[in-house]
Amino acid sequence: MGKNKLKRFAENATFEHVFQPTFDEISKDLFALKGKWAGFFGNQNPITLELACGRGEYSVGLAELYPERNFVGMDVKGARLWHGALTAQEKNWKHVAFVRQHIGQLHRLFTLQDQIDQVWIVFPDPQLRDSKAMKRLTSPRFLSTYRRCMKPSTLIHLKTDSPELFEYSLQVVQEQNLNILHQFRDVHAAWPNHPELGIRTFYESMWLEQGRRIHYLCFELGTEPIG
């Protein structure tokens, strides 16, 4: 393991806004902030969650735009989310937190009482092999996980350079009869001045330089389909 990773892991452990639940906390459903995130943030403001946040660029970008909201970035890679955590630390932001954990454990970290009302999934691994379809973060499996701790009106935002993931996600949403608010196969051409969609991650900037189009889908989480 490289020295930089070790340094970042050690620094994460010193940040009061970075949480790394232990195996026991997750397996025994003992995470202290579950259902109590308002106590950590010191307010009842809604939470915007960034899943597979990587370097936390969207969490940081949104936090800059909306200081009245609360933001939580979640990723299993501690050395990655360190970037966003460090930015929040340097800016002394009290409305941003990060959690190092698998997304499949989301329901052990949050409840409906935590008021997650938006989720951003930004350039996730598209898991293009058919055998890995259920690992896509917009798959029926993950939508069911989200519903365990989010209300039906929660907005799900997907940004991706993968047309395959976009079309798959759109199909899932349509099959579940979910309410679609926006769908663009070239979001920067269709909505060039939108402040939230204008946030550029490292990978998005790279894809745009290569001439790739950025796809965007926004829909309501809805309820579990019957049957």
The residues that are catalytic are 125
Residue 155 CA to residue 1 CA, distance in Å, equals: 38
Question: String of b and e for 106-138 (b: at least 16 CB within 10 Å)?
Answer: bbbbbbeebbbbbbbbbbbebbeeeeeeebbbb
Give φ, ψ of 60 to 5 degrees: -65, -45
Q: What is the CA radius of gyration of the chain?
A: 17
Residue 154 CA to residue 142 CA, distance in Å, equals: 14
Q: CA geometry: angle at 208 spanning 203 and 212, to 5°?
A: 105
Bridge partners, 74 (sequence order) = 51, 99
Which two three-digit tokens encode residue 93?
């932001």
